[in-house]
A and B are shown apart, each in its own frame.
Chain A
Amino acid sequence: MPWDRNQMAARAAEELEDGMYVNLGIGIPTLVANYVGDKDITLQSENGMLGMGPFPYEGDEDPDLINAGKQTITELARTAYFDSATSFAMIRGGKIAAAILGAMEVDEKGDLANWMIPGKLVKGMGGAMDLVAGVGRVVVVMDHTNKHGESKVLKECTLPLTGKGVVDRIITNLGVLDVVEGGLRIVELADGVTEAEMRAATEATLVD
């Protein structure tokens, strides 16, 4: 069985080490926070906060306290607030250890596309271009194929890029891949997924 969203998030949480400052993107990456366990992780929200807490209890929502996905959240005892220029200074300056982000496409050179589909969907890059350019390690979490069954793990991205050669590791519903010299290397297969299934769903070059 391929991993579901929560299993992908749980696997992504294994990437995080005690003491890390981390930025989680919108979607499945947000769920990663539920699986960090006892590890001492400080979550950054790029609008201007370190030490992001969980969603508030009903009735406790504060319009002045939101995450980068514009969702209401809470603060923690360790929380610090700052302006967006300071926030991206710490991102660009390499102070954030890792970012876990969603993607529309990833390719074997570590290129990432996740901000627009020309003529169809314009969302904007938000902080994603700054994050992939600046943080220590970029982990992509996404479904291996799109809703038409086509691979999202490509030889070359077809959509406008968010960053070039920026991805370190890809976690999909089928398993874990690393970007290495010459292509992608299978690190791990989801329980019950065969290497043949992984290869069939991957357009990118797989190397040993």
Chain B
Amino acid sequence: MKKVYANATEALDGLLRDGMLIAAGGFGLCGIPELLLQAIKDSGAKDLTFASNNAGVDDFGIGILLQTKQVKKMISSYVGENAEFMRQYLSGELELEFNPQGTLAERMRAGGAGIPGFYTKTGVGTVIADGKEHKDFNGETYILEEGIFADLSIIKAWKADDTGNLVFRKTARNFNVPAATCGKICIAEVEEIVPRGELDPDCIHLPGIYVHRIIQGEHEKRIEQRTTRKREEA
């Protein structure tokens, strides 16, 4: 079992093809697989569909692939802070499938768990429900949503061992866990690969069975909205 690769480009070797569906972890710019996204940009792969809550900002995260027009379609819940995303969508260059955030997370989780569909109350009575099967349970109406089965998952974690057991840090866990599980192949980029035995088995956030390739690298970890409070005067 050799899961550790030297860098993002090597980890992606043989996996990318035009038109594929990629599930990406991250929320906003927090916990995004920034090194793998850069390597996908460099590869020139195109007509990609991304299942990802956001699309980064114009010059970071998935935004860099929007600038080069490598993305055909986004499956996302929020595009508010990305001007190029909004421009491409409103001009019809980019397909956008809006998913409520929890529905997107559950679609990924379901895909990874071998569940092709599930019923949810979320979106009933809105445009999200248009064309979807409606079914009543105990007097309440639900809609059918489908699991996401991605060709590739790309995620970011804090620490890994060489078997792919992962630990995330604070709110950077977000979509990384469900996104990891729903792909045929999952690549994780991490800040540190530690020796076997160093991660507490009781505190593994994602077991290595879901992770096929791992890289370690330097992360910029850009902050989208720097909000602070003043220190009280002594």
Which residues of chain A have a CB within 8 Å of any CB of chain B?
Answer: 45-49, 54-67, 69-73, 75, 81-85, 87-89, 91-92, 111, 119, 122-130, 133-134, 160-165
Write out, one digit per residue, whether chain B residues 75-89 have a CB within 8 A of any chain A CB (1) or not (0).
011111100001001
**Closest A-chain residue to B224, C-beta based?**
A70
> How many cross-chain pairs have Cβ atoms below 8 Å apart between A and B?
185
Minimum CB–CB distance from B43 to chain A (whole Å) comes to 26
**Closest B-chain residue to A165, C-beta based?**
B125
Q: Give complex CA distance A73, B158 in Å.
A: 19
Q: Please state if B101 and A160 are interface contacts (CB–CB under 8 Å).
A: no
Beyond A58-B230, A70-B225, A125-B100, whether A48 also contacts B125 by CB under 8 A is no
Q: Give complex CA distance A65, B80 in Å.
A: 20
Q: Give complex CA distance A111, B124 in Å.
A: 11
Residues from chain B with Cβ under 8 Å of A129 in the complex: 100-103, 122-123, 126, 128
B13-21, B62-70, B164-172, B208-216 - interface stretch: B164-172
Beyond A64-B31, A83-B176, whether A130 also contacts B101 by CB under 8 A is yes
Q: Please state if A75 and B170 are interface contacts (CB–CB under 8 Å).
A: yes
Write out, one digit per residue, whether chain B residues 102-142 have a CB within 8 A of any chain A CB (1) or not (0).
11011011000000000011111111100000000000000
Q: Give complex CA distance A47, B177 in Å.
A: 12
**Closest A-chain residue to B78, C-beta based?**
A124
Can you spell out 14 A-B residue pairs with CB atoms less than 8 angstroms apart?
A55-B228, A60-B228, A63-B172, A64-B170, A69-B225, A83-B105, A83-B174, A92-B122, A124-B77, A124-B79, A124-B98, A129-B123, A129-B126, A134-B102
Which residues of chain B have a CB within 8 Å of any CB of chain A?
Answer: 27-31, 53, 76-81, 86, 89-90, 96, 98, 100-103, 105-106, 108-109, 120-128, 158, 168-178, 205, 221-231
Residues from chain B with Cβ under 8 Å of A54 in the complex: 229
Q: Please state if A163 and B126 are interface contacts (CB–CB under 8 Å).
A: yes
**Closest B-chain residue to A160, C-beta based?**
B127
Residues from chain B with Cβ under 8 Å of A124 in the complex: 76-80, 98
Residues from chain B with Cβ under 8 Å of A125 in the complex: 77-78, 98, 100-101, 128
Beyond A55-B227, A126-B77, whether A83 also contacts B175 by CB under 8 A is yes
Beyond A92-B120, A122-B89, A126-B101, whether A48 also contacts B228 by CB under 8 A is no
Tell me what chain A mostly uses at the interface: helix, strand, loop, or mixed: loop
**Closest B-chain residue to A90, C-beta based?**
B102
Closest 6 CB pairs of A and B: A88-B102, A164-B125, A130-B102, A124-B78, A83-B177, A129-B100
**Closest B-chain residue to A84, C-beta based?**
B105
Beyond A57-B229, A61-B226, whether A83 also contacts B178 by CB under 8 A is yes
Q: Please state if B230 and A160 are interface contacts (CB–CB under 8 Å).
A: no
Beyond A46-B101, A47-B30, A81-B170, whether A123 also contacts B226 by CB under 8 A is no
**Closest A-chain residue to B100, C-beta based?**
A129
Q: Please state if B53 and A84 are interface contacts (CB–CB under 8 Å).
A: yes
Q: Please state if A164 and B124 are interface contacts (CB–CB under 8 Å).
A: yes
Residues from chain A with Cβ under 8 Å of B123 in the complex: 129, 133
